[in-house]
Amino acid sequence: MRTRFQQGLEDLRTRLLRMGGLAEQAVDRACQAYIDRDLSRCQMVLDNESQINAAERDIDEQAFDLLAMQQPMAVDLRFILAVTKINSDLERVGDQAVNIAERVMDLAELPKVDLPVDIPRMAGAVSTMVRRALESFIEGKAELAQAVLEMDNVVDRMRDEAFMMLVKTMNDHPDMTRQSVDALLIARNLERVADHATNIAEDVIFWVRGADVRHNVQPDSAELTRRATEV
């Protein structure tokens, strides 16, 4: 047993989970800030972005060291590759949270209007996707990750609906254009977060099953069966 190497992998896993927690928290705070028009939460999202960025650098550095020094193979190699990609996705999730917070700060300066879009519902679906993607990573379960992939279409539809409704609002009520644009951008940012959660889920499936399911390419079913009980 390569104890030191296994400890290195466990440490990498812990760091990624910590970073996942920060990214998930940033999205939740930004969405809550939207609901409450809470500028202090927006500021927290902005302030915490540097922590996420620092975590991204640390994780990449550690993964790079493990690749160079330990020459990992098979499931360990797949794990480290998955971690580096998830790391990048989580950093982008943090960026999207910042974008949402900035839109909320802009909205807070404008008169409050009723927009025909359910951002909290969309935010709830996106948060669930991020949380489940991270759970699939924690538990090393491809089935959980698969469920995340299936949720992506739901969020895409919400974004499309929001787009149509908000464009109509801008046409019908030009005085609500700025608020509509902010809401539209928030919906777009949330849909991007969902895309990153989908990427994370795909990377978990790659790690656990050794199957590349990106871009809707389904792996050979016999291959999936062989890998299903492993890890």
Give yes or no for residue 226 binding another protein (CB under 8 A): yes
Q: Which residues contact 217 (CB under 8 A, 6 or more apart)?
A: none
Q: Structure tokens of 19? A: 């970073």
Q: Pick from 61, 65, 150, 230: which binds another protein (CB under 8 A)?
A: 230
Q: Which one, 152 or 202, has the nearer CB to another protein?
A: 202
Q: How far is the CB of 140 from another protein (least distance, A)?
A: 14
Give yes or no for residue 5 binding another protein (CB under 8 A): yes
Q: Which one, 18 or 226, has the nearer CB to another protein?
A: 226
**Region binding another protein by CB under 8 A among candidate stretches 39-47, 74-82, 159-167, 177-185:** 74-82
Give yes or no for residue 217 binding another protein (CB under 8 A): no
Site size with another protein, rule: CB under 8 A: 16
Alpha carbon distance 9, 80 (integer Å): 8
Give yes or no for residue 72 binding another protein (CB under 8 A): yes
- Which residue pairs, CB below 8 angstroms and at least 24 apart, start in 112-118? 112/37, 113/173, 113/176, 113/179, 115/165, 115/166, 115/169, 115/176, 115/179, 115/180, 115/183, 116/165, 116/166, 116/168, 116/169, 117/161, 117/162, 117/165, 117/166, 117/183, 117/187, 118/158
Give yes or no for residue 67 binding another protein (CB under 8 A): no
Q: How far is the CB of 80 from another protein (least distance, A)?
A: 11
Alpha carbon distance 162, 44 (integer Å): 27
Q: Which one, 124 or 219, has the nearer CB to another protein?
A: 219
Q: Which one, 1 or 175, has the nearer CB to another protein?
A: 1
- Kindly identify the residues of this chain, within the stretch 174-213, that bind another protein according to CB under 8 A: 210
Give yes or no for residue 68 binding another protein (CB under 8 A): no
Q: How far is the CB of 228 from another protein (least distance, A)?
A: 12
**Region binding another protein by CB under 8 A among candidate stretches 35-43, 75-83, 124-132, 190-198:** 75-83
Report yes or no: 129 and 194 within 8 Å, Cβ to Cβ.
yes
Alpha carbon distance 97, 30 (integer Å): 6
Report yes or no: 195 and 155 within 8 Å, Cβ to Cβ.
no
Report yes or no: 186 and 103 within 8 Å, Cβ to Cβ.
yes
Alpha carbon distance 87, 200 (integer Å): 9
Give yes or no for residue 74 binding another protein (CB under 8 A): yes
Alpha carbon distance 79, 227 (integer Å): 14
Give yes or no for residue 2 binding another protein (CB under 8 A): yes
Tell me which residues touch another protein (CB under 8 A).
1-2, 5, 71-78, 210, 223, 226-227, 230
